[in-house]
Amino acid sequence: MSESAGLPVAVIGAGPIGLAAAAHLVERGIEPVVLERGESAGAAVRQWGHVRLFSTWRELVDPAAEKLLAPTGWTRPDDAAYPTGAQWAEDYLQPLGDALGERVHYGATVTGVARAGRDRVVDSGRDTQPFTVHLSLTDGSEERITVRAVIDASGTYATPNPLGADGYPAAGERELAAEGRITYRVPDLNDPAVYARFAGRRTAVVGTGASAFTALAGLADLATAEDGTGTHATWVLRRGISGSTFGGGSADQLPARGALGLAAKAAVDDGHATALTGFRTTAVETTADGRLVLVAEDGHRTEPVDQIIALTGLRPDLSFLSEVRLGLDERLSAPTALSPLIDPNQHSCGTVYPHGVTELSHPEQDLFLAGMKSYGRAPTFLAMTGYEQVRSIAAALAGDLEAAQRVELTLPESGVCGGSGLFDISGTDQTATDGCCATPEPQLVQLGVGVPPAQDSQAGGCCGS
């Protein structure tokens, strides 16, 4: 008999997918222990709490989680509304964490996962041994817990990609980031101090995803404010601009996501942002007057800017999984069976095939990466994808293989194509060669038109995890 029988399942991360995993395990009669390094549920989500999601509440509430919340008197938010990250955390994630009670452990940082008494090399008795999870607690102490399985839903938010186009920090990047001159987050322009930092100044925005769109739209809005005269963005892209650059527009079945791309296009068309294409950063230099210049691999240089927002994607932190056997794609750092379904070099417009335990399995039995972390460096994750992942994993751990293999997800079509793998294709040829579904030329819109009213937040920009 396995030494793991009767042990709980460790869930790393009390974010949307980690808490959903715990809810599905509870529904299956399996005891979870949720390990969260922050001091509250959705700690990472709260860090971008000012950003409004482009998914509605309908796509952001997990079914098993809702069942767990029902007896607490929780009221489901309006399905058609678009919450901010802060609202998602306060109105859903924290109540869910509270409903799970003592199963959730805050201030617990996972520093290692291993088979009990076995490093990565040892074969003997490996599959019958439980896992040992190493923890560092906020009081400075260390702890180890023994579990039957591990679901790592710790996400990727803590490990943004660097500015350098080759995947490493550009020359000068580390020092400038330490000084606060380079940020890797969408700025909260509702914060007076942040507002003052960007108002009337020139900013380089590097990246082509939803977060970059959000930053461009926010800066364009700031440029039209009475005290924002002179605000301008230099939008740095590693590839050219084509009809698909701004996403799906009106063809996107997540309307707020489509409108976000149109708002970024409007920022360029209205002169609040200047697009600099085919620019792959290798260095950042400081001018005599203290301003910043980005330098490309071919020697081209940007005009001086006051600060840089690098929104070039995220990557998983695999450092605490060094003693378990992972099967990861060499490009994306995603599970090998999942990688072809999400590869941005070939991935079509939002058509991710529904997947679960089979695609998420590793050579290390009963160890799973879920949520954004399972996507590695691929950028097209949605919360509902993660909910389906953990439903399937929980079913498999409960021995219900039929349910684990059953498909219970239909994703909305998206006009977001390509990804970093297409940056060498010229703008004129991209539509014909990238294999994506055809998307109409985005229509120009004014900021805020067609998106949910932002009120005290910026619109869009997050994948819902």
Place of tokens 């691929």: 378
pLDDT per residue of the chain (465 residues) written in tens, 0 to 9 = 456 678 999 999 999 999 999 999 999 999 999 999 999 999 999 999 999 888 899 999 999 999 999 999 999 999 999 999 999 999 999 999 999 999 999 999 999 999 999 999 999 999 899 999 999 999 999 999 999 999 999 999 999 999 999 999 999 999 999 999 999 999 999 999 999 999 999 999 999 888 999 999 999 999 999 999 999 999 999 887 765 566 655 555 556 666 777 888 889 899 999 999 999 999 999 999 999 999 999 999 999 999 999 999 999 999 999 999 999 999 999 999 999 998 877 654 356 677 899 999 999 999 999 999 999 999 878 899 999 999 999 999 999 999 999 877 766 554 333 222 222 333 333 333 333 233 333 232 232 323 333 344 454 433 443
Three-class SS state of 111: strand
The Cα 216–Cα 235 span in angstroms is 8
pLDDT at position 55, please? 85
Sheet arrangement for strand 307-310: 182-183, 307-310, 202-206, 232-236, 273-276
- Sequence-distant (≥ 6) Cβ neighbours of residue 285 within 8 angstroms: 172, 292, 293, 295
The whole-model pTM stands at 0.86
* Predicted pLDDT at 255: 61
DSSP string, 302-345: PPPBSEEEE---B----GGGTTS---B-TTT-SBTTTHHHH-TT
Hey, what are 308's tokens? Answer: 């840089």
How far is 361 from 111, CA to CA, in rounded Å?
Answer: 22
Cα 92 from chain centroid?
18
What pLDDT sits at residue 351?
Answer: 61
- The terminus-to-terminus CA distance of the chain in angstroms comes to 37
Cβ atoms of 358 and 336 within 8 Å: the answer is no
Cβ-count burial 10-48 (b if 16+ within 10 Å, e if not): bbbbbbbbbbbbbbbbbbbebebbbbbbbebbbbbbbbb
Query: Which pLDDT score is estimated for 420?
Result: 27
Instruction: Supply 7's token pair.
Output: 């042990």
Residue 141 token pair:
């102490």
Spacing of C-alpha 363 from chain mean position = 25
The sign of the torsion formed by the CA atoms of 66, 68, 69, 71 equals positive
Model pLDDT, residue 448: 30
Pairing of strands 131-137, 142-147: antiparallel
Query: Residue 186's closest CA among 215, 213, 157?
Result: 215
